[in-house]
Structure 1
Amino acid sequence: MIAERVPNRPAEQDRVVAVAPPLVVGRAVLLIPHRGENSDVAALPEDYRKILALVREADGPVQVRAVGERLGLDTSVRGKLEPLRANMTKFADRGWLHKRPDGHFAARR
């Protein structure tokens, strides 16, 4: 009997690991909380406050690339901007920003 050895493929070596949200006394904590009437920017982590401040300082709706440039990210590689785009989308989903159909983001006042 002849056995054939098949090397591991790179795709099989990659594993997706689910990251649980941070817990405080057994409860999950959102890094970007939902915005309410009494919500304060101070409730956000510092990195998120910077993103929100840059969008609010802009004259109008901004692209993710423009925010990334102001934050000093490498904007020549699209993949470097995807985490920022995800965070800005979370801001929009939770009421801090408005995401326009053209992909630009604007501040909610």
Structure 2
Amino acid sequence: MLIPHRTPDAEETMLPPDYQRILAAVRQAAGPVMARQVGDALTIDVSVRSKLEPLRGKLVRLVDRGWLRKLPDGRFTTRL
């Protein structure tokens, strides 16, 4: 699954549906969020590490492609 790099003309609709939901959950948060909070918002059982780690990987992939920012304390937020 290819996650495109964010460019000025890139639309969120270019992202796969799972990534669109993750991006929406981070955007709807009152501030920077941890992966566990995103999982809660998406109704993922975050008490199970095998469910939380793939979500964290997707968040990091969104950071790598420029869709999100990761703060030094490990929280995620939308790009400014």
**2:33 maps to 1:77:** no
Mapped to 2, the partners of 1:45 and 1:94 lie a distance apart of 13
**What is the identity percentage for the equivalent residue pairs of Structure 1 and Structure 2?**
54
Of 84, 87, 97, 2:68 maps to: 97
**Unmatched 5+ stretches in structure 2:** none
Structure 1 CA distance for aligned equivalents of residues 40 and 28 of structure 2: 14
Gaps of at least 5 residues in structure 1 are: 1-21, 23-29
Write out aligned runs for 1:24-39 (5 A): 30=2, 32-39=3-10
- SS of aligned partner of 2:77: strand
Q: Deviations over 1:51-81 (max 9, x none)?
A: 0001011111001001101111111122210
What SS does the corresponding residue of 1:103 show, helix, strand or coil? coil
Counterpart-to-counterpart distance in 2, 1:54 and 1:73? 12
Aligned length: 80
Distance 2:65 2:17 in 1: 17
CA RMSD of aligned residues (A): 1.1
